């Protein structure tokens, strides 16, 4: 599977058995969201062709929501690949620990943009618990979600097959709700509670590196010049994931950095090409 044409600037291997990040640069945020939406549909359709079902881990944020809206548009007017949404399992990378009807929840935005539109069955939507649900504490909510992942996984594994895991990235390099120097960045559990988050709301539930890096493919969606420095640092050799969590993220089969030109502004030019202005 590949993305539609964009500037593709890196492939190869950066460690034994681990793919080097595949960096794709689109002109702007709108082009990026459309390209990722088309690629996501193709990837999920391909997974269903092989396995009979597909799984995706969703992210929030402006670009993440735009991608889901793009996928919904493609589902309404399919051009090439089609996805059987009755056979797609939906998980989340992180969630704000707020009431179920709060617009701050990533689940709320995802349902509005895609899930309710295409009719994903309720039993395949694996939402993280809200603060007004069964669990009063985020630690209990995190333990429950870890158990849900394990229940869907083959024997002996903590995480099921995750075909594509979508992530955004903050300007300081956080992914999901793993922030620099936070306890979550050193936590080895697949799902963690996050308290005193530096970005409101302060209490969250997040996948940890153990679950994120178990995904078949991890796609990082990053838009805007305010994140360019963190993108360049995350992709530089030897960057410490404790200081910049995005540097610690990788998929089992593929890691894709999907950027607009503004977010890619500080990346070095490929050999033989001038640096982008």
How large is the average pLDDT for residues 176-186?
97
pLDDT at 276: 47
Under 8 Å CB-to-CB from 9, ≥6 apart: which residues?
23, 24, 25, 267, 270
Q: What is the model's pLDDT at position 77?
A: 85
Query: pLDDT digits over 117-152, tens only?
Result: 999 999 999 999 999 999 999 999 999 999 999 999
Range name among 6-15, 49-58, 65-74, 191-200 with the lowest pLDDT average: 6-15
- Which pLDDT score is estimated for 19? 66
Q: Per-domain residue ranges for the chain?
A: 19-260
Stated pTM of the model: 0.91
**Start-to-end C-alpha separation, the chain:** 30
Per-residue pLDDT averaged across 161-179, rounded?
Answer: 98
Six token digits for residue 33: 């969201």
Q: What confidence tier does 16 reach under pLDDT thresholds 50, 70, 90?
A: very low
pLDDT, one tens digit per residue, over 34-80 is: 999 999 999 999 999 999 999 999 999 999 999 999 999 999 987 77
Check whether 5 has a pLDDT greater than 60: no
What pLDDT, on a 0 to 100 scale, did the predictor assign at position 269? 72
Tell me what the mean pLDDT of segment 262-271 comes to: 85
pLDDT in the model for residue 52: 98
Note the pLDDT of residue 20: 86
Q: In this structure, are residues 1 and 42 in contact, taking their beta carbons and an 8 Å threshold?
A: yes
User: Confidence band (pLDDT; 50, 70, 90) for 271?
Assistant: very low
Class of the domain covering 19-260: alpha beta
CA distance 85 to 119: 7
């Amino acid at each position: 599977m590949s993305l539609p044409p964009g500037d593709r600037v890196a492939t190869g291997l950066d460690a034994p058995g681990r793919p080097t990040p595949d960096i794709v640069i689109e002109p702007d945020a709108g082009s990026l969201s459309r390209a990722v939406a088309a690629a996501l549909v193709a990837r999920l359709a391909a997974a269903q062709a092989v396995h009979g079902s597909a799984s995706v881990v969703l992210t929030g944020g402006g670009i993440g929501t735009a991608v889901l809206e793009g996928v919904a548009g493609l589902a309404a007017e399919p051009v090439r690949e089609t996805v059987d949404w009755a056979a797609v399992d939906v998980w989340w990378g992180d969630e704000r620990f707020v009431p179920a009807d709060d617009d701050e929840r990533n689940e709320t935005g995802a349902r509005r943009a895609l899930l309710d539109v295409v009719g994903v069955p309720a039993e395949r939507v694996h939402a993280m618990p809200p603060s007004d649900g069964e669990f009063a504490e985020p630690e209990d909510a995190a333990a429950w979600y870890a158990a849900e992942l394990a229940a869907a996984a083959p024997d002996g594994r903590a995480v099921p097959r995750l075909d594509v895991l979508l992530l955004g990235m903050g300007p300081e390099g956080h992914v999901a709700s793993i922030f620099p120097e936070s306890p979550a960045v050193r936590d080895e559990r697949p799902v963690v509670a996050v308290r005193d988050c530096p970005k409101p709301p302060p209490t969250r539930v997040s996948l940890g590196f153990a679950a994120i890096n178990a995904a078949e493919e991890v796609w990082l969606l990053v838009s805007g010049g305010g994140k360019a420095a963190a993108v360049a640092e995350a992709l530089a050799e030897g960057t410490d994931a404790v200081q910049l969590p995005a540097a610690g993220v990788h998929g089992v089969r593929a890691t894709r950095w999907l950027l607009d030109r503004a977010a890619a502004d500080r990346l070095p030019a490929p050999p033989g090409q001038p640096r982008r202005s």
